Amino acid sequence: MGIKRRQSDASSEERRWKRAIIACLTASLEDADVRKNDLAVRLGWTPRQVYNLFQGRKTVRVVDLILIAKALRVSPELLFGRIIRWR
């Protein structure tokens, strides 16, 4: 397998995980009946920061996932598990 092929596979895997994160965060917001603007207030972020996160323009750090889980009043383990199980 060539270098370009491995890079392509890695890029594909990264895109898949980004989609999983965004899908699970969206579903978690819906489950908690929280709007994105309300999430921004709870996190102390601007609405633009939340918008960029959900558009895939902002990198989602582990600490962001933990803070978002707490803001939605779910355990970070539950949120991480949801992401890992996403297909």
Phi-psi region of 2 (alpha: psi -120 to 50; beta: other; left: phi over 0): beta
What is the CATH number assigned to the segment(s) 3-85? 1.10.260.40
Rg of the chain, C-alpha, whole Å: 14
Q: Could you state, in order of their start, the residue ranges of all structural domains in the chain?
A: 3-85
In tens digits, the chain (87 residues) has pLDDT values of 566 666 677 789 999 999 999 999 999 999 999 999 999 999 999 999 999 999 999 989 999 999 999 999 999 999 999 999 997
